């Protein structure tokens, strides 16, 4: 019993080795950085609300066998296009959010369809194709918004254009128009949210423990110890959150004035639910079948190419919406570069959460975004603390993002090479 | 008189210039197990691809002839259509998703769905899959096949022998299925599993399903089939109820072939007092799909030696094993010298050359010129055709071209010149290039595998003549591996028949068709189509 | 006759045809609009030479079966490191370039060997992995640049340690090859010496490809099964091809830098491999085949378009970076096009 339990614990650790590694890295980075807990919390909270939607958009293509969808940058561009035009119409407040979503959706559907078509022609090389397609689309996007606007395409709002009347400005601010169009629908302060989150976490721990005790089949001692340690850590964190707001005047100050967009969190939850739901439907089942073996799926009568295109459309649409959610919260936009890092950061985040080229879930996305951005947020300070040079931290975090993607890709490729060797036998 | 369920009439199929099926007929009744026999390449799989409306057929220009189903003509232009009509297939390679459970595999793309509002509005794609119902259905289907497998197990965790039964369950779960095709279903099963499978086939046939049974195992055919149809070279040989024929007769039908005129040649100049050119002792080669399991034979110097046998019995692995392309155990002697740790280099250095059966893979650099293809082996092994400059070297193009031109002349390679890419050559000329490359090593022993597969008659004749000439004029020892028995018999001095990875017997070219038939089917050693080695 | 022309065009390929026409159109526009034609053509010629070796580096990689070398940034970083060290040790004049090339090649050979080993484990996914190996390596090198213990003031960052963002070369090997035997005809400067140096590298590569070792490498790259039957080690030859590619990239970036006048460090090399890949593809290479001819043509067309689109774009839409956009669209467009042409190996 005991041995079996130890083996199980080992299996769990092996399964989650990536996640465990990054948890340790995140904690170490946080300790070294010396960032105040409130600032740290605020950083993670805002990054979570802004980025998670797009990370969740990666899940469907992974399951459908298209790998990590680097072309979500194209979805992000669709979102930006929608935002630019919405703002130019002079729409403000929540309607501007709705209109942006409305405009971006058909665009994203079209782009997703086109990307899907190309990816169906490059089977086996989907990821590099989606990445290069992102770069290519970036060129076309720049061409349209730098040159065609004002020359071939009329544009109503002169204040958003360059002084010579050609092209959109490279930096746009949405204060008073599009900014907080979703956030302001329903938000609270971080100050209150932290309290609620802390209490909720405590309640969860208690329920979990009660259920563990009620269970007839008792698990072995090592697993139980691991359980208790886990519960204790979460409980301590929760208590910490609850009392955090009492700690200092500064903490209260920071947290009372930071908007915490519950509405964005609701959107994220809805997308999580959608992801769960879609894999219970016939369509989601087809995604899984196509992702695991196209040949078999085709022989059983599933339209493989069509299924893949639908997956790409869904992912692109979500990426577009995600970009809108992000931009309205940030309130400014670098017209020609806001989309560039989207895929890199989203892909790195979901991989940190334990996903791979062929496997991804909501859990991976949520966990990954918290861990990855915890490290990402503090790395300049870590650089300063360790090397007296914040630039090193900056370089390090870029290296981390590229490196994690490289490792994930390499692990998958080694596995694939092994499998194809075995299949030949 | 029963009416036929399926009639395929006057089916002709060409791939480009190559006719693979010629005026083929197939008539299947309900309640019948109809065995389809023929060597590999006889056209069975093409006929089945037509029956299933596989995309390959449409993409390569369709076919001629008509298909009647229940007496009415049908157009089967996609696998989906075939399924709708009621045709099911139990594949040779498992069409299963390892990451899915047994139940999910059985119900793949036919999942039971829950009724829901969304589903009604947006079509079945957004309906929720009813996993409980799926498992119940799967269990019922498995029960019908008589298998006690947990339907929640992942397919990838199932033993190989069980997968076949899951496939069958899937096919019979399709409620409308009237015809089931079994493509070599027993190839991967143990004997007891095979027995169970044959029993299930009988049971299904008794329930009214027609079964097309493709196999190489005559014993199974005699045990279970009602009717047998034999193909050869894309043509129908004969079709008759099983009661009217015998195993030996079927075997003869499968391999018998009009013999070309034998080549004129003098009695081989076999040197008896020197060591054997090639000697194998208990030689086993692990070549997937073509394992040999302990071959012992001796090839004398100056002999043309044939290796025959049905596909999958291991004849191809012997030459590949000798050349060091697949791992082998046992002993290999070349000219009396034992070769340890066989590598291609060691064998090539001992003046053995090989013409592979995998012409476009192992045999040719398709995107390179004829001269490059011919010269490369000698460049690598004997460092011929190069200028040396101290540690540096340059390929001597003039010498290589001269040699290429000589070979083009000698073998009558039809090309625009020695610089033409081999991809653009016809199959026969490609094969000649392969032979030319082997000869550029100036070998004493030449191993040739499937020299005439997929090439036209003129080139066939010329190649075989040339091999005989090499043997007669240069005293070259030649070992030919071929599925075409007639061809072997026209040139070889002795022919070893490989069955089940072992030498079933060695016959002179003059032995009778009947005798060859029995050996090819493995009937001579008293086995009933199977031998002990397979059960391990 | 007609058939011959059509056949010839077909072999030339529609993508290449469009790009060639674009190139000619730009040339004509430059001439017609009188956009300092001579200077532009001189610029085209210089760019042809300065990018040449970076593109040539694709050939051994493709021919050894490793596909397009998206990771040539590794070699580029090694070349930059060689350049920095050469200056740090105080070499000047021709020696500074030669020593930079030697240092760079040694690093590139070592890194290429390690990277080639890695590629042997991941056969079939080379391109995607190569891209991210390149990205990760560039960001790793960023950290290396910061910590490189440099003593030479002309290299050091004004404040604290580390190398400068751009290292000026005017005092060492800047424009050395540009001016070597340069001839001026009708206002057009022809960098004859630079062209000869590039040609010399072509001849060297050609000699290698025609040697026994080179032939065997190409066999291993084209058909691994065939190679196995002749006992040619596929893995070793892939490593050989990778090393050659990396060394050429290392020397290539030094050529590039001497023309440009600066060693661009830190994130500058990030996407350089894409440009080299695009150029060789435009020249008619595929992921499986590439020739020196492809390099010559592709580098001229691609860099010519980039060089000429700047003045043309400026004439059409003043103070814009239309040229940059043309670069993005042409380079990535041709790569996507090439990816759709890969036949899936079953």
pLDDT digit string, tens, across residues B232-259: 777 888 888 888 888 777 877 776 655 4
The first and second tokens of residue B433, run together, are: 């290039």
**Which chain C residues contact residue B354 at CB under 8 A?**
229
Q: What is the pLDDT of residue A286?
A: 93
Question: What does the pLDDT average to over B15-22?
Answer: 76
Lowest-confidence region among A99-103, B72-76, B143-147, B480-484: B143-147
Q: How far is B416 from chain C (nearest CA, A)?
A: 16
User: Chain C: residue nearest B437 by CA?
Assistant: C230
Q: How far is CA A57 from CA A51, A52, B135, in A?
A: 10, 9, 31
pLDDT exceeds 50 at position B535: no
Q: What is the CATH number of the domain that holds B182?
A: 3.40.50.300
Q: Which residue of B has its CA nearest to C227?
A: B362
**pLDDT tens string A197-214:** 888 888 888 888 888 777
**Structural contact between residues A223 and A8, judged by C-beta atoms closer than 8 angstroms:** yes
- Read off the pLDDT band of A414 (50, 70, 90): confident
Q: Is A296 in Cβ contact with B109 (below 8 Å)?
A: no
B344 with C207: Cβ contact below 8 A? no
Report yes or no on B505 lying in a domain. no
Return the residue in B55, B347, B363, B393 with the most chain C beta carbons within 10 A, the one to mutate for interface testing: B393
What does the pLDDT average to over A288-293?
A: 92
C129 touches chain A (CB under 8 A): yes
Using CA atoms, how far apart are residues B100 and B138, in angstroms rounded to an integer? 13
User: Residue C145: which domain range?
Assistant: 38-270
Q: How confident is the model at residue A320 (pLDDT cuts 50, 70, 90)?
A: very high
Q: What is the pLDDT of residues C276-304, one digit of tens each?
A: 999 998 888 888 889 999 999 999 998 88
User: Does some domain include residue B267?
Assistant: no
Question: Is residue B340 scored above 80 in pLDDT?
Answer: yes
Higher local confidence (pLDDT), B341 or A241: B341
Closest CA to A371 of A9, A126, A47: A47
Give the best residue of A121, A123, A139, A335 to mutate against chain C (max C CB count within 10 A).
A139
Pick from B110, B140, B115: which is nearest to B127 by CA?
B115
pLDDT of residue C106: 96
- Mean pLDDT over A152-160 rounds to 86
Confidence of residue B536 (pLDDT cuts 50, 70, 90): very low
Picking from C65, C126, C140, C143 by the largest number of A CB atoms within 10 A of its own CB, the best residue to mutate is: C143
Is residue B368 very low, low, confident or very high in pLDDT (cuts 50, 70, 90)? confident
Q: Are C173 and C104 in contact (CB under 8 A)?
A: no
pLDDT of residue B527: 43
Angle between helices B370-381 and C212-222 (to 10 degrees): 120
- Whether residue A395 and residue C143 make contact (CB cut-off 8 A), yes or no, is yes
The reply to whether C216 touches chain B by the CB within 8 Å rule is yes
pLDDT at residue B210 tops 60: yes
Instruction: With CB atoms and an 8 Å threshold, state whether C332 touches A139.
Output: yes
Report yes or no: C344 at the A interface, CB cutoff 8 Å.
yes
Residues of chain B with Cβ-Cβ distance to C216 below 8 Å are 379-380
Evaluate if residue A254 carries a pLDDT over 80: no
Domain assignment present for residue B169? The answer is yes
pLDDT tens for A306-318 read 999 999 999 999 9
Chain A contact set for B95 (CB, 8 A)? 295-296, 299-300
**CB-based contacts of B2: which residues, under 8 Å, 6+ apart?**
B29, B30, B31
A neighbour chains, 3+ CB pairs within 8 Å: B, C
Chain B's closest residue to C232, CA to CA, is: B380
The answer to whether the CB atoms of A300 and B111 lie below 8 A apart is: no
B509 lies in some domain: no
C181 CB near a chain A CB, below 8 Å? no
Q: What is the pLDDT of residue C246?
A: 95
Residue of A nearest to B112 (CA): A282
Considering its fold, how many domains does chain A have in total?
1
Reduced DSSP (H G I as helix, E B as strand, rest coil) percent helix, strand, coil of chain A, to 5: 75, 5, 20
Contact A299 B79 (CB under 8 A): yes
Co-location of B120 and B184 in the same domain: no
Distance of CA A85 to the CA centre of its chain: 25
- Using a CB-CB cut-off of 8 Å, the residues of chain C touching B356 are 229
- The overall average pLDDT reported for chain C is 87
- CB of B266 within 8 Å of a chain A CB? The answer is no
As a whole number, mean pLDDT of residues C252-271 equals 90
Question: For the ranges A123-137, B451-465, C239-253, which has the lowest average pLDDT?
Answer: B451-465
**B83 contacts in A (CB within 8 Å)?**
301
The answer to whether residue B309 is domain-embedded is: no
* Residue B125 in contact with partner chain A when CB distance is under 8 A: yes
Chain-centroid distance, C-alpha B195: 24
Whether residues B379 and C232 touch (CB distance < 8 A) is answered with: no
Q: What is the pLDDT of residue B62?
A: 81
A419–chain B nearest CA distance, Å: 12
Question: Domain range for residue A242?
Answer: 2-424
Q: Are residue B181 and residue B241 in the same domain, yes or no?
A: yes
Q: State whether B386 and C212 contact (CB < 8 Å).
A: yes
Closest residue in B to A293 (Cα–Cα): B97
**What are chain B's partners, defined as 3 or more CB pairs within 8 angstroms?**
A, C
Q: Which of B255, B272, B296 is the last residue of a domain?
A: B255
Q: What is the mean pLDDT of residues A222-242?
A: 78
Give the integer Cα–Cα distance in Å for C81 and C263. 10
Q: What average pLDDT does the segment B392-412 reach?
A: 88
**Domain identity same for B42 and B102:** no
Q: Do B99 and A280 touch (CB under 8 A)?
A: no
Task: Give percent of chain B above pLDDT 70.
Answer: 92
Question: Given B380, B405, B426, which residue is the final one in a domain?
Answer: B426
In terms of CA atoms, which chain A residue is nearest residue B82?
Answer: A301
Model pLDDT for residues A40-91, shown as the tens digit of each residue: 888 888 899 999 999 999 999 999 999 999 999 999 999 999 999 999 988 8
Reply yes or no on whether the pLDDT at A134 is more than 90: yes
B519 neighbors B257 (Cβ within 8 angstroms): no
What is the predicted pLDDT for the residue at C345? 42
DSSP string for residues in B239-278: EEEGGG--HHHHHHHHH--PPPPPPP-PPP---SSSPPSE
Residue B176, class by beta-carbon neighbours within 10 Å (0-12 exposed, 13-18 middle, 19+ buried)?
exposed
End-to-end Cα spacing for chain A = 38
Radius of gyration for chain C, computed over Cα atoms and rounded to the nearest angstrom? 20
Mean pLDDT of chain B: 83
pLDDT at A219: 64
Mark whether B181 and B167 lie in a shared domain.
no
Contacts of C121 in chain A (CB under 8 A): 410, 413-414, 417
Domains identified in chain B, total number: 3
ipTM of the complex: 0.87
Q: Could you tell me what percent of chain C has a pLDDT over 90?
A: 41
C230 touches chain B (CB under 8 A): yes
Distances (CA, A) of A241 to A43, A44, A192, A263, A369: 15, 14, 10, 22, 20
Residues on chain A bordering chain B, Cβ-to-Cβ distance under 8 angstroms: 280-283, 285-286, 288-289, 292-293, 295-302, 424-425
What does the pLDDT average to over B511-523?
79
pLDDT band at C346 (very low <50, low <70, confident <90, very high): very low
Quick check: B281 pLDDT over 70?
Answer: yes
Which of A4-18, B445-459, C221-235 has the least mean pLDDT? A4-18
Position C157 in a domain:
yes
Number of domains in chain C: 1
The mean pLDDT value for B271-282 works out to: 81
Give yes or no for A143 touching C (CB within 8 A).
Answer: yes
Contact A301 B124 (CB under 8 A): no
Domain with B102 in it = 97-174
The beta-carbon neighbor of A283 closest among B80, B104, B125 is B125
C-chain CB neighbours of A164 within 8 Å are: 318
Position A118 scores a pLDDT of 95
Residue A324: band (very low, low, confident or very high) from pLDDT cuts 50, 70, 90:
very high
Residues B7 and B155 in one domain: no
Give me the residue from C121, C131, C328 closest to A128, CB to CB: C131
Strand partners, B328: B285
Tokens (6 digits) for A374: 């915890």
pLDDT at B528: 40
| Residue A151 with chain C: CB contacts under 8 Å | 317
Structure tokens at B500: 């089940």
Range from A293-297, A348-352, C121-125 carrying the lowest mean pLDDT: C121-125
The pLDDT assigned to A322 comes to: 95
CB nearest A281 (choices: B95, B109, B129):
B129
Residue B489 lies in a domain: no
Tell me what the pLDDT averaged over chain A comes to: 86
Q: Which of A59-68, B164-173, B491-500 has the lowest mean pLDDT?
A: B164-173
Sequence-ordered list of residues with C-beta below 8 angstroms from that of B91, at least 6 positions apart, any chain: B167, B183
Residues B45 and B30 in one domain: yes
Tell me, yes or no, if A127 comes closer than 8 A to chain C by beta carbon. Answer: yes
B354 in C contact zone (CB under 8 Å): yes
**Distance in angstroms (rounded) separating the CA atoms of residues B384 and B387:** 9
Closest CA to B397 of B424, B369, B422: B369
Q: Is B160 on the interface with A (CB under 8 A)?
A: no
Considering only the beta carbons, identify the residue of B108, B126, B128 that sits closest to A300.
B108
């Amino acid at each position: 019993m005991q041995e079996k339990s130890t083996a199980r614990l080992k299996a769990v650790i092996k399964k989650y080795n990536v996640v465990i590694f990054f948890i340790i890295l995140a904690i170490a980075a946080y300790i070294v950085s010396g960032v105040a807990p409130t600032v740290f919390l605020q950083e993670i909270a805002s990054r979570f609300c802004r980025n998670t939607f797009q990370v969740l958009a990666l899940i469907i293509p992974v399951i459908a066998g298209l790998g990590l969808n680097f072309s979500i940058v194209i979805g992000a561009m669709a979102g930006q296009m929608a935002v630019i035009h919405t703002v130019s119409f002079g729409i403000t407040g929540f309607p501007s959010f709705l209109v942006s979503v409305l405009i971006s959706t058909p665009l994203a559907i079209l782009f997703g369809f086109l990307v899907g078509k190309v990816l169906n022609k490059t089977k086996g090389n989907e990821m590099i194709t989606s990445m290069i397609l992102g770069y290519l689309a970036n060129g076309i996007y720049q061409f349209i918004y730098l040159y065609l606007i004002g020359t071939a395409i009329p544009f109503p709002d002169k204040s958003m254009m360059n002084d010579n009347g050609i092209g959109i400005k490279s930096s746009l601010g949405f204060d008073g128009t599009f900014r907080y169009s979703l956030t302001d629908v329903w938000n609270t302060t971080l100050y209150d949210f932290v309290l609620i989150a802390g209490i909720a976490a405590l309640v969860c721990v208690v329920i979990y423990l009660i259920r563990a005790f009620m269970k007839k089949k008792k698990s072995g001692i090592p697993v139980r110890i691991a359980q208790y340690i886990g519960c204790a850590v979460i409980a301590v964190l929760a208590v910490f959150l609850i009392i955090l707001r009492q700690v200092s005047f500064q903490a209260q100050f920071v947290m009372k004035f930071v908007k915490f967009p519950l509405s964005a969190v609701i959107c994220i939850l809805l997308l999580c639910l959608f992801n769960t739901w879609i894999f219970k439907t016939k369509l989601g089942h087809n995604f899984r079948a196509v992702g695991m073996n196209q040949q078999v799926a085709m022989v059983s009568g599933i339209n493989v190419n069509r299924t893949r295109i639908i997956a790409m459309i869904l992912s692109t649409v979500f990426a577009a919406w995600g970009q809108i959610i992000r931009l309205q919260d940030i309130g400014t936009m670098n017209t020609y570069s806001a989309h560039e890092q989207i895929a890199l950061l989203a892909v790195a985040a979901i991989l940190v959460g334990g996903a791979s080229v062929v496997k991804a879930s909501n859990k991976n996305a949520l966990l990954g975004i918290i861990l990855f951005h915890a490290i990402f947020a503090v790395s300049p300070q870590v650089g300063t603390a360790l090397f007296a040079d914040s630039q090193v931290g900056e370089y390090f975090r870029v290296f981390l993002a590229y490196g994690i993607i490289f490792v994930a890709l390499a692990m998958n490729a080694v596995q694939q090479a092994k499998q194809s060797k075995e299949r030949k036998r | 008189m029963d009416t036929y369920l399926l009639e395929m009439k006057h089916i002709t199929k060409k791939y480009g210039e190559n006719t693979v099926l010629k005026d083929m007929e197939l008539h299947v009744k309900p309640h019948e197990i109809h065995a389809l026999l023929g060597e590999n390449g006889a056209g069975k799989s093409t006929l089945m691809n037509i029956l299933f409306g596989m995309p390959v057929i449409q993409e390569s220009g369709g076919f001629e002839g008509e298909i009647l189903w229940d007496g009415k003509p049908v157009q089967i232009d996609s696998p989906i259509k075939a399924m709708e009509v009621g045709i099911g297939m139990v594949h040779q390679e498992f069409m299963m998703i390892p990451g899915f459970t047994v139940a999910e595999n059985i119900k793949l793309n036919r999942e039971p769905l829950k009724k829901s509002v969304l589903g009604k509005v947006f079509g079945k794609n957004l309906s929720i899959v009813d996993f409980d119902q799926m498992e119940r259905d799967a269990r019922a289907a498995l029960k019908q096949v008589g298998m006690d497998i947990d339907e929640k197990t992942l397919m990838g965790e199932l033993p190989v022998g069980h997968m076949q039964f899951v496939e069958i369950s899937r096919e019979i779960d399709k409620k409308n299925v009237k015809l089931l095709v079994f493509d070599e279903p027993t190839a991967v099963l143990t004997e007891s599993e095979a027995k169970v499978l044959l029993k299930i086939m009988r049971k299904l046939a008794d329930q009214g399903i027609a079964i097309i049974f493709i196999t190489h195992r005559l014993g199974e055919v005699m045990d279970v089939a009602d009717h047998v149809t034999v193909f050869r070279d894309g043509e129908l040989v004969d079709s008759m109820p099983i009661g009217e024929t015998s195993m030996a007769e079927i075997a003869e039908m499968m391999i018998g072939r009009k013999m070309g005129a034998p080549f004129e040649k003098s009695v081989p100049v076999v040197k008896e007092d020197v060591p054997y050119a090639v000697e194998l002792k208990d030689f086993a080669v692990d070549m997937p799909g073509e394992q040999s399991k302990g071959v012992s034979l001796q090839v004398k110097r100056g002999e043309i030696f044939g290796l025959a046998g049905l596909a999958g019995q291991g004849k191809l692995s012997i030459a590949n094993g000798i050349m060091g392309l697949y791992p082998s155990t046992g002993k290999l002697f070349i000219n009396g010298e034992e070769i340890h740790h066989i590598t291609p280099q060691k064998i090539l250095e001992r003046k053995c050359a090989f013409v592979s059966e995998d012409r476009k893979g192992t045999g040719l650099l398709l995107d390179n010129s004829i001269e490059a293809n011919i010269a490369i082996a000698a460049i690598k092994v004997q460092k011929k055709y190069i200028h040396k400059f101290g540690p540096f070297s340059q390929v001597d193009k003039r010498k290589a071209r001269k040699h290429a031109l000589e070979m083009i002349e000698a073998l009558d390679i039809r090309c625009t010149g020695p610089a033409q890419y081999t991809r653009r050559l016809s199959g026969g000329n490609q094969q000649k290039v392969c032979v030319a490359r082997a000869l550029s090593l100036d070998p004493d022993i030449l191993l040739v595998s499937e020299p005439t597969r997929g090439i036209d008659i003129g080139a066939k004749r010329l190649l075989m003549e040339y091999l005989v000439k090499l043997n007669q004029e240069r005293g070259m020892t030649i070992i030919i591996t071929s599925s075409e028995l007639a061809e072997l018999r026209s040139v070889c001095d002795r022919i070893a028949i490989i069955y089940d990875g072992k030498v079933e017997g060695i016959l002179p070219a003059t032995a009778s068709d009947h005798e060859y038939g029995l050996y090819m089917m493995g009937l001579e050693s008293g086995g009933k189509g199977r031998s002990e080695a397979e059960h391990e | 006759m007609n058939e011959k022309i059509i056949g010839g065009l077909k072999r030339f390929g529609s993508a290449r045809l469009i790009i060639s026409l674009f190139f000619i159109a730009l040339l004509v526009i430059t001439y017609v609009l009188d956009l300092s034609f001579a200077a532009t053509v001189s610029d085209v010629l210089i760019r042809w030479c300065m990018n040449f070796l970076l593109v040539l580096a694709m050939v051994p990689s493709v021919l050894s079966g490793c596909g397009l070398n998206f990771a040539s940034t590794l070699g580029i970083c090694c070349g930059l490191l060689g350049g920095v060290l050469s200056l740090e040790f105080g070499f000047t004049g021709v020696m500074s370039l030669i020593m930079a090339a030697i240092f760079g090649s040694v690093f590139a050979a070592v890194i290429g060997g390690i990277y080639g080993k890695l590629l042997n484990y991941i056969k079939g996914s080379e391109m995607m992995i190569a891209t991210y190996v390149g990205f990760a390596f560039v960001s790793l090198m960023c950290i290396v640049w910061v910590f490189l213990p440099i003593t030479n003031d002309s290299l050091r960052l004004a404040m604290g340690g580390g190398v400068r963002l751009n290292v000026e070369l005017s005092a060492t090997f800047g424009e050395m090859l540009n001016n070597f035997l340069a001839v001026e005809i009708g206002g057009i400067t022809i960098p004859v010496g630079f062209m000869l140096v590039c040609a010399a590298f072509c001849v060297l590569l050609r000699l290698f490809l025609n040697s026994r070792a080179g032939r065997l490498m190409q066999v291993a790259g084209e058909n691994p099964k065939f190679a196995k039957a002749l006992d040619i080690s596929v893995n070793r030859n892939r490593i050989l091809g990778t090393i050659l590619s990396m060394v050429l990239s290392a020397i290539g970036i030094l050529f590039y830098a001497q023309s440009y006048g600066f060693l661009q460090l830190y994130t500058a090399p990030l996407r350089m491999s894409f440009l080299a890949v695009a150029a060789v593809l435009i020249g008619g290479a595929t992921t499986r085949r590439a020739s020196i001819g492809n390099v010559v043509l592709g580098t001229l067309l691609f860099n010519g378009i980039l060089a000429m689109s700047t003045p043309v774009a400026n004439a059409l839409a003043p103070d814009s970076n239309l040229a940059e956009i043309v670069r993005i669209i042409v380079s990535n467009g041709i790569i996507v096009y090439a990816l759709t042409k890969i036949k899936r190996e079953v």
